[in-house]
């Protein structure tokens, strides 16, 4: 829990860098409904009907928009991650959560101010596999499972090599590929990966490797450039995120989802 709390609470000190896009002349009513698309990524985005609520980042998005002055409904649609990006690119959805900055996606997305400071990654193998990965260079020669559509540290991917990467459709599927012997290791963020393994009931069957890899890559909301409503709502999101960080509301939301 301590490690997760350190990762989450670092976001409070983040300021709005001048590089993040700001809507210039977008005009839309503050009560315009917004369509939020996301892939299930517990605990940031939980499955529909989950006992813990819709997910940490869904709650952050809704509260930030309200605090920023947006009064319209926010409809959540859960889809595979690649589908979510397609909908955003073509203006069929307004925004998404839990995004690291990508210059490639900047072509069709506007990024909010950051609301989480960075990510720490862990590596898991099947218990009894006999692996002890302590250094980055010891990943070489081992097949690594990861989640399709997510951005991972380039240094990790380069060390493993493209031919040794095994893609699952999400975190849970990537973990299952290790359990089925399709990969030797799975990489997952400390918070989301640990949560998923707990939810799947696989904690006793997996062994966490000594290696951890941290990267300072801030997390943002992403708004569709092709949606006028989304471009206008970005300003409300930025105001709301700043307010949540200033008064401690963001930290309290994160505590609710920390195990």
Going edge to edge, which strands form the sheet with 144-147?
Answer: 165-168, 144-147, 185-189, 119-126, 206-215
Q: What is the pLDDT of residues 108-153, one digit of tens each?
A: 999 999 999 878 899 999 999 999 999 999 999 999 999 887 778 9
CA distances from 49 to 46, 55, 153 (A): 8, 10, 32
Class of domain 119-215: alpha beta
Q: Are 147 and 45 in contact (CB under 8 A)?
A: no
pLDDT tens profile 50-80: 998 999 999 999 999 999 999 999 999 999 9
Domain boundaries, the chain: 2-117+217-257, 119-215
Per-residue confidence (pLDDT) for residue 10, from 0 to 100: 41
Helix (H) or strand (E) holding 35: strand 34-38
- What CATH number is given for 2-117+217-257 in this structure? 3.40.190.10
Provide the strand spans (E) within 91-241: 95-100, 109-111, 119-126, 144-147, 165-168, 185-189, 206-215, 219-224
Same fold, 2-117+217-257 and 119-215: yes
Give me the helices (H) in the chain, please. Answer: 2-9, 56-67, 81-89, 154-160, 171-179, 190-200, 228-246, 249-257
pLDDT digit string (tens) for 11-52? 444 444 434 444 444 555 678 999 999 998 888 999 999 998
């Amino acid at each position: 829990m301590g490690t997760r709390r350190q990762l989450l609470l670092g976001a409070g000190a983040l300021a709005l860098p001048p590089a993040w896009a700001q809507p210039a002349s977008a005009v839309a009513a503050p009560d315009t409904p917004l369509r939020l698309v996301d892939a299930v990524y517990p605990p940031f985005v939980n499955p529909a009907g989950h006992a813990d609520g819709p997910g940490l980042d869904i709650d952050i998005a809704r509260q930030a928009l309200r605090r920023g002055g947006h009064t319209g409904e926010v409809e959540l649609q859960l889809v595979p991650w690649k589908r979510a990006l397609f909908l955003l690119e073509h203006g069929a959805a307004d925004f998404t959560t839990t995004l690291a900055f990508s210059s490639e996606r900047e072509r069709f997305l506007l990024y909010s101010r950051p609301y989480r400071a960075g990510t720490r990654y862990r590596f898991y193998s099947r218990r009894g596999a006999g692996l002890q990965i302590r250094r980055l260079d010891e990943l070489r020669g081992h097949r690594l499972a990861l989640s399709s559509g997510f951005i991972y540290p380039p240094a990790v991917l380069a060390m493993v090599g493209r031919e040794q990467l095994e893609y699952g459709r999400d975190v849970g599927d990537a973990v299952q590929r290790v359990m089925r012997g399709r990969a030797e290791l799975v990489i997952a963020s400390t918070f989301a990966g640990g949560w998923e393994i707990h939810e799947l009931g696989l904690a006793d069957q997996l062994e966490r490797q000594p290696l951890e890899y941290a990267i300072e890559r801030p997390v943002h909301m992403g708004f569709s450039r092709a949606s006028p409503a989304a471009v206008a709502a970005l300003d409300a999101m930025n105001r709301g995120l700043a307010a949540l960080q200033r008064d401690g509301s963001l930290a309290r939301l994160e505590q609710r989802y920390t195990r």
